[in-house]
Amino acid sequence: MEYFPCGDLHTFILESQGGLSQPQIKTVTIQLLEGLKIMHSLSFCHRDLKPQNVLVVTWFPLVVKIADFGTTKEAGDETALRTIVGTPDYLAPEVLGIIDTDTSEYTDAVDMWSMGCLIFAMATKKTPFPGTKGLEAFIKRLTFPGDRLVEAELEEFIVGFMRPMPGERLTAKQALDHAWLNSGDHTWDGETNLSNGPGQEKATIGPTGNQAGNESDDDYDTWDTQDEVDSVPPLSRSSVGQGRMISSVGARQPDIKSNMRSKKGPIYMKTISSHMALI
């Protein structure tokens, strides 16, 4: 089991100045999409992707890992995804029954919806929907909730994850090929050998040794406030330096299929020499 002295992405976002930089967002997004691509190719759905469940391995270079697989489930011919699990601000509409998909089941496309919410949070320090009311309004008018907060290219990328109908959303593979993600600067080179590329702020966050308390989803401002990002008040640094020890999976996990074995119920994973394994 690995120990993560840098804490989680939630803390990293809270301690940023108005949200992460675009190079940082791209760096984190690429790693998470690589992890989801592998999970989905093996028919596993995380079902609770959010900043609190993304652990920061190192700040410089910026390396992250997906964590907390307690709600993860394998979806196959004999197992369907029906249970309402996850965190409200990151739940896809089909999980909540807001849209009619002609079935009570859902697919790994729910992870892609959560990914869109997560990217929005990285960019704005806000979650796109305060609850089902905001989500229902978005579904009805199909208007991006934060068009005042992010540039057009990033908005278009996020909207690709947040199509109301699951089959119309970007897959992890499609998202990795998206023009926005592959334009400009980012610091992820596809391996663990990262460097601080142009635009990477070194002073955004760092270990301080402070004792940390648990953060809740309420620490994020939500879209119903209609506040500009610049109006977000300074945040306490009390959460900086929180370490976490948790089973996790890295963004790049080659040759893991042979390490997977069938198991009912939630799965628990850990990294072993950069390979994902069931324990």
Band of pLDDT at residue 243, cut at 50, 70 and 90 = low
Band of pLDDT at residue 221, cut at 50, 70 and 90 = very low
Percent of the chain residues past pLDDT 90, beyond the cut: 32
Which of 54-58, 86-90, 101-105, 237-241 is predicted most confidently?
Answer: 54-58
In this structure, how many other beta carbons lie within 10 angstroms of the beta carbon of residue 245? Answer: 11
Name which of 111, 146, 110 is nearest 125 in CA terms: 146
Locate 86 and state its tokens.
């996850």
> Which residues, listed in sequence order, are joined to residue 127 by a DSSP beta bridge?
222
Say how far apart CA 75 and CA 89 lie, in whole Å: 23
State the pLDDT at residue 30. Answer: 97
Band of pLDDT at residue 239, cut at 50, 70 and 90 = very low
pLDDT tens column, 182-207: 987 765 554 443 333 333 333 333 33
With 60 as the cut, is the pLDDT of residue 217 above it?
A: no
Name which of 242, 226, 233, 7 is nearest 128 in CA terms: 226
Four-residue CA torsion sign, 208, 53, 196, 276? positive
pLDDT tens column, 90-120: 888 886 666 566 655 778 889 999 999 999 9
Residues annotated as catalytic are: 48
**All domains in the chain, ordered by first residue:** 2-278 (1.10.510.10)
pLDDT tens column, 28-57: 999 999 999 999 999 898 989 999 999 999
pLDDT tens column, 126-156: 888 766 555 555 565 555 555 556 788 998 9
State the pLDDT at residue 138. Answer: 58
